[in-house]
Amino acid sequence: MVEYLTATVVLLGASALFLPLLQLLRSRGANISGYVLALVLAAALILIGLSTLSPSPVSWAGTLLISDQLGGVFALVTVGVTLAVTVASFDFQKGASNPVYYSLLAFTALGMVLLAYSQDLLMLFVSWELMSLPTYVLAGFDKKVRSNEASVKYAVIGAMSSAVILYAISLAYGLTGSTQISVVAQGFARLLSTPSPSTALASVAVLLFVAGFGFKMSIVPFHMWIPDAYEGAPTTISTLLAAATKKAGFIAAIRVLLAITTLYTLTKSPFFTLANVFAVLALLTMTVGNISALTQKSMTRLLAYSSIAQAGYMLIGFVAFANAPASAAASLGLTGTIFHVINHAIMKGAAFLAAALVLFQLRRADLGAYSGLGRRMPITAFTLAVAFLGLAGVPPLSGFWSKLLLFLSVAYGPFAWLALAGILNSAFSLGYYAWIVKRMYIDEGESTERVKEPIWYVVIFAILVGLIIGIGLFPQEVINLASAAAANAFG
C-alpha cells in the first residue's frame, strides 16, 4: 500500500531544501520558485486527502506519527492555507531572496503536517519548532523597522512558549517514563488514583501545556504578541499565522490536553478542573478579543483581535469535552471545534488576503482606506464582506453552523452560561464587522477610481467565498468529516 503521508513528507522536505538553489538561476529562479512550491503544495493536498480517506500506518515513524482522520483534517487545512498564501505572493513577493521566502513556507508546511500527525511529545516538539522557526524569519521578511520589531517580539514570545512546552514534556516524562501521549495520559490517571507529591507535579505539567499551547492558539492571557506581530509582518504572512499555524496549536492541544482530560482531573476539588479552566479562558478570550477589536483603527490589528475572539469560541468545544469526555455533548463539542477550525481558516484567510491586497494596492492599512471600497475594488470588498459576516455567524454562511454546534454542546449542562456568553459575543462582534461592511458600501471614499485586482487574488477569493457560501448551504458533509475526525481522535 502506498504510504501517502510518507510521500507528502518527502515531497515537502525535498522542496524546502531544493528551492534555495533556484537563487543560482538569478532572475529566472525568482520567477519560478513560487510556481514550483504551489505545484508541490497542490500535490501534497492530494496525497493528504488520499491518506485521510484511507489511513495507513507510517512504517518508518514507528510510534512517533499516526495517520488518522484528525491529523488529515488539520493537515489539509494548514497546507491549503499555505497554498493560498503562496499563490497570493506571486505578484508582490519579488526579488533575489524570493526562493528563500518560498523555502521557508515549505519548511513551515512540513512542520505543520508532522505536527498534525504527532502522537509522541518529543515528535510534537520537534515539529512545533520546525513550524515556528521559519515563521520568525518570515514575520520580519520586509526588513522594515515595524516588521523587524514584529519578528523579534514573535521570536522571543515563541521561544518562551517552546521552553514552557519542553519543561512540561520533561515533567511528563519524569512522572510517567514515556513521551507517548497515550501512555502519559494513562500515567497521569494512575497518579490521581493514588495521590502523592507527584500528583501536584502532574497538575503543574498540565497547566504548563495549557500555557505553552495557549501562546500559539492566541488565548488570553497568552495573546499579547498577536496584534503587533500580525501588524508588523507582511500581511500574507499574517494570513499564514492566523489561519494555519494557529490551527497547528489547536491540534497539539487536542492531541495532548484532551487526551489527558479523558483520564485526569487537575485536583479532587470540584472547582479546579480542566473544564473550568477552559471555560474561564474561553470567556476571557472571546470577550477581550471582541472588545479590543471594536477600538482598532488598523485593519490588521482589528483582524488580529478578531482572531483572538474566534479562539475563544473554539475553546467551548474543549469545555464540553473536558466536562464529560464520554458524553454526546463531548462528541458534539469536539466536532464543533474541528468544524470551526476549518471554517475559521477559510474565513480568516479570505479576510487577511483581502486586507493584504488593499495594503498592496492602496498603500494604506487604516480603516479609512475601506471607505467606498465596494466601488474601487468590488471583488475584494465582496470577499471581505462575506468573510466578516461568516465570522460573525450570520446564517446561512459556514461560520453559523460551527458556532451553533459549539453553543449546543454546552447549552444543556453546567456551562450553559458559556453558550449565552458566546451568543452575546457573536452579536457584539457583528458591530465592528458590519461597520466595515457599511464603510465599503455606503460611505464615500476619497476616490472612486477603479483599482486593479490581480487575477491570482481573484481566483483565491472565488474559491474561498465559494467555500464559505457552499459549506453554509450544504454543511452536512463537512460536519460528517469533522465528526469522523473527532470520533477517532483518541482511538
Mean pLDDT by 10 residues, the chain (491 residues): 78 92 64 88 92 74 81 92 91 73 93 91 92 89 71 86 92 89 84 72 86 88 83 85 87 86 58 82 94 89 91 93 84 93 93 90 83 89 94 91 94 91 93 91 81 89 95 94 85 55
pLDDT of residue 400: 93
Identify the DSSP state of 249.
Answer: H
Instruction: Say if 23 falls within a structural domain.
Output: no
When divided into structural domains, the chain yields a total of: 1
Q: Which residues contact 256 (CB under 8 A, 6 or more apart)?
A: 121, 124, 181, 209, 213
Instruction: Say if 483 falls within a structural domain.
Output: yes
Q: Which of 262, 255, 395, 415 is nearest to 338 (CA)?
A: 255
Main-chain phi, psi angles of 56, to 5 degrees: -140, 155
pLDDT of residue 29: 47
Q: Which residues contact 202 (CB under 8 A, 6 or more apart)?
A: 171, 172, 175, 188, 191, 192, 264
SS3 content of the chain, % helix, strand, coil (to 5): 80, 0, 20
Instruction: Say if 22 falls within a structural domain.
Output: no
**What whole-number distance in Å separates Cα of residue 108 and Cα of residue 479?**
28
Instruction: Say if 339 falls within a structural domain.
Output: yes
Instruction: Say if 196 falls within a structural domain.
Output: no
pLDDT of residue 170: 93
Which residues make beta-bridge pairs with 65?
Answer: 118
Instruction: Say if 480 falls within a structural domain.
Output: yes
Domain containing residue 371 = 273-491
Instruction: Say if 176 falls within a structural domain.
Output: no
Cβ count near 440 (within 10 Å) = 23
Instruction: Say if 232 falls within a structural domain.
Output: no
pLDDT of residue 123: 92
**What whole-number distance in Å separates Cα of residue 280 and Cα of residue 25?**
54
